[in-house]
Chains A and B, each alone.
Chain A
């Protein structure tokens, strides 16, 4: 049985997952369209590498498909579970990367500062990504989840399996470290007028 796509747009993730487990093809398509961008974005922000992020996204979604028949509705948010899976997969890759080749961490392009808004925005994204990559792993994850993915502290606590206070501590330390790392680049990032 397959439900029409339109009818599924407002259906919560966990209910869609139940439909998916029952063989609903439309549920598979809606979940793919809804969740793959979220998973890819988080993997990209943790890894800073587009190709690796795509591999992680596919693997994370594969794990979701496999767990679908055993998913217990109402116990956890699907996205919370996925953020955790993505973080674990990225941690594995970052450890392998450290063990194999220190130079493989992509260096964002160091563009010449430009008045053009698009280039400033690009420079800001790249500078932030570079600074994030230099953070300790847990700080990076907490900062990304809080300030880029927009999760609440209790939700991050669930993803990272720690307390809310620990989340607050990680994000505070992470932001201090980011500020320090980017202090010398304020001019090129368009923050030059001190005002």
Chain B
């Protein structure tokens, strides 16, 4: 018998011994694996019901409110708007004494840069 053939046979005898020596899973391992399997199944079955639903789409006006900073910011914005309207319709006398009151006639270039002011002043003059 050649060395190569002898080596092959001896190695095969070792492999055969290893095949016969396959470890048997312990009862504990089998129980753990099965418990994992059942847990995975339970999780998969529960998943569709437990999956968080997508929040309902918010109306466009709510998105704008949120964008501007929510209700507190809106309150400030509303106050400023009302105050502006009041100043425009019925300005206090003190306001007319401010240097700003003369913009409409004194410096056309500056008034051109502040179109709102120009309109307010026109309204005042007409009123």
Q: Cβ of A68 and Cβ of B33 under 8 Å apart?
A: no
Most buried by B among A37, A50, A150: A37
Q: Among A21, A191, A194, which residue has the most Cβ atoms of chain B within 10 A?
A: A191
| Contact in complex: B15, A28 (CB < 8 Å) | no
* Cβ A128 vs Cβ B33 within 8 A: no
Q: Which of B1-40 contact A (CB under 8 A)?
A: 1, 6-8, 10-15, 17-26, 29-30, 32-34, 36-38, 40
Let me know if B63 is at the binding interface, CB within 8 A. no
Complex Cα gap A69–B48 (Å):
13
Is the beta-carbon distance between B40 and A148 smaller than 8 angstroms? no
Distance A148 CA – B18 CA, assembled complex (angstroms): 7
Can you list 27 pairs linking A and B with CB atoms under 8 Å apart?
A: A20-B37, A21-B44, A28-B34, A28-B37, A29-B34, A36-B30, A37-B24, A41-B23, A53-B23, A54-B25, A58-B29, A58-B32, A65-B40, A65-B41, A66-B40, A124-B14, A128-B14, A128-B15, A128-B18, A147-B12, A148-B19, A175-B11, A179-B10, A182-B10, A182-B11, A191-B10, A191-B13
Known: A32-B37, A40-B25, A178-B14. 6 other contacts (CB 8 A): A37-B22, A61-B36, A62-B36, A62-B40, A125-B21, A148-B18
**A33: CB under 8 A from chain B?**
yes
B53: A residues at CB distance < 8 A: none
> Taking beta carbons and an 8 Å cutoff, which residues of B are in contact with A?
1, 6-8, 10-15, 17-26, 29-30, 32-34, 36-38, 40-41, 44-45
- Interface contacts (Cβ under 8 Å), in number, total 100
Please, how many residues of chain A have a CB less than 8 angstroms from a CB on the other chain? 44
Known: A41-B22, A182-B14, A195-B1. A25 touches B30 (CB 8 A): no
B29 touches A148 (CB 8 A): no
0/1 string, A4-44, CB within 8 A of B gives 1: 00000000000000001101010011011100110011001
The reply to whether A58 and B23 contact each other, CB–CB distance below 8 Å, is: no
The residue from B11, B13, B25, B37 contacting A178, defined by CB atoms under 8 A apart: B11
A121 near B: Cβ within 8 Å?
yes
Contacts of A58 in B (CB 8 A): 29, 32-33, 36
Q: Decide yes or no whether A167 CB sits under 8 A from chain B.
A: no
